[in-house]
Amino acid sequence: MELRAYLAVARRWWWTLLAATLVAGAVGYLAARTIPPTYEAETKILVGPLTNTDIDTIRAASSLAETYAEVAHSDTSLQAMSAKLSLTTPLLDLRKNVKVVADDVTRLISIRADAGSAQLAADMANQLASQLEQLQSQGTARAEGEIHVIDRAAPPPEPIAPSVNLIAVMAAGAGLVAALILVLVVEHFSDTIGSRFELAELATVPFLGSIALPRRFVPSPSDPLAVEAIPESRTAVSTRLLASKISFSGGTPLRSVLVVGSQAGDRAPELAANIAGAMAASGRKVVLVDGNDIEGQITTMFSIDERTGVRELLEWPTLQTAQGLLEAVMVRREPGMDILPHGSSGPELIGRDSAEQLVKVLLERCDMVIVNSAPVHRSGSTLVWARATDATVLVAHRDVTKRENVTYAVDSLRQVGATLIGMVLMERRWSPFSASERPRRRDDRSAKGAKRRPQAQAQAQVALPAPASGPTTPAPAVTPAAAPTPTPTPATRSSAKSASKSGRGS
């Protein structure tokens, strides 16, 4: 795995790594706070005269310093100190808590005592020093055997253990390492697409880009597309860039594209609708075709179910003469975007000639046809649409799409001779927007929703006649739409209230 692949893994799992580090650090900190503190006090003793130039006296004092240190750390001295201070600590623990070190160069003896109380630690060190002074006073007064207490122990202000901060840092590091190991194990045994590099390496096709569509802007008759509601967001910019790449992929302008997911849940229908919206916003006439014969997600998103659509049109033998029929079937969505629903009845597997004929007829009245169909492994009609259109864009969802589905989709499209121009990776996160955009987005949604709602409600159900075998084609019967009920204004409400009061008064 290359360095950029590791960086992609770290970027994808950063919240897990951060959470593991913080939790482990917090647990280590709290655990360290529960450990009883340990204080250390130190007493320093000088053996021999304070000032003396006699080298023999100094050498003798240095030797006596080591002797005094052994005496201070002996069991007899420790037991005497324990009895004097009324300690209940076992002798073995006292030997661990008391350290006596002699320096034969400086003739200094350092007595360090550890205890759970600062005062007790100081008392232990000073008591051992007092016992050495008493021992020296009982012998012959010689210069080399003199004992002088240089520094008496004082209660230390801070404990030496436990080091709460150090334990917390070490626990956080251990949590980070454990999380890294867990992430690498999960990545190793995971069967889903985890990064753009993995997708490009697996599919061996060009990578067109990554897009994170916000879920709160799922297209519907009342709510606009994400590219319309938040045109300055990174989502809209990425969608417009992807639309440009699709339009001019291969060096020649494309006029029909199939946008299909590798498996269910890849959000390919939403992506296809937003690409169509981006192209329509640039001034092109776009027709969005719902060719999904299993779910019809685009039809459901725009609430145009139970309508005549693609499946009925594919049974029509002479679509070239059915321009008026297409005008009645398609749902107009401004600006410059028409939607062709999937229909309610029709063949389970469409024919290639019928699909190509429908795309050709649609191109006579628009600049771009964008088709969305079911995932490759769920419908054979998807491969027919792939041949009927100029190019195909395959969609995968990060941490959702399985590797085997991507491989199967790419192989199937290549086997039927479809032109696969690239892949798009849908991201899991959905909010790349700043807080300053939210009020404006909400106003835009309200205004555009109010504008489109009457248009969507005014669409009619088209009843197709039976296909004629003769040279003429019967005209379609169109049921007129009911006029929308006018919304009362504040002035009309006031007039109505006045009239009502007058009626009650009379």
Encode 225-273 in three state secondary structure. CHHHHCCCCHHHHHHHHHHHHHHCHHHCCCCEEEEEECCCCCCHHHHHH
Per-residue pLDDT at 452 exceeds 60: no
| Parallel, antiparallel or unpaired: strands 286-290 and 256-261 | unpaired
Per-residue pLDDT tens digits for 352-400: 888 888 888 888 888 999 999 999 888 888 999 999 999 999 999 888 8
More reliable by pLDDT, 281 or 484: 281
Per-residue pLDDT tens digits for 188-204: 777 788 778 888 888 88
pTM over 0.75: no
Burial of 494 (0-12, 13-18, 19+ CB in 10 A): exposed
Q: What is the mean pLDDT of residues 22-29?
A: 94
pLDDT band at 497 (very low <50, low <70, confident <90, very high): very low
pLDDT value of residue 104: 80
Please give the full DSSP string across 148-174, using - where no structure is assigned.
EEEE-----SS-SB--HHHHHHHHHHH
* Geometric angle at alpha carbon 367, from 389 and 214, rounded to 5°: 80
Which of 255, 364, 362, 320 is closest to 471 using CA atoms?
Answer: 320
pLDDT value of residue 117: 93
What rounded mean pLDDT belongs to the chain? 79
pLDDT value of residue 215: 64
306 Cα distance to chain centroid? 38
Cβ atoms of residues 246 and 393 within 8 Å: yes
pLDDT band at 470 (very low <50, low <70, confident <90, very high): very low
pLDDT value of residue 139: 66
Per-residue pLDDT at 87 exceeds 50: yes
- Report phi then psi at 38, rounded to 5: -125, 125
For residue 222 the two structure tokens come to 């009342």
* 3-class secondary structure, 130: helix
Per-residue pLDDT at 437 exceeds 50: no
Residue 491 neighbours by CB distance under 10 Å = 8
pLDDT value of residue 372: 93
Per-residue pLDDT tens digits for 371-380: 999 998 888 8
Per-residue pLDDT at 321 exceeds 60: no
Query: Within a 13 Å sphere around the CA of 223, how many CA atoms are in the beta-carbon half?
Result: 17
- Report the share of the chain in percent with pLDDT over 70: 77
pLDDT band at 443 (very low <50, low <70, confident <90, very high): very low
For residue 339 the two structure tokens come to 């939607």
More reliable by pLDDT, 273 or 230: 273
pLDDT value of residue 313: 79
Cβ atoms of residues 462 and 476 within 8 Å: yes
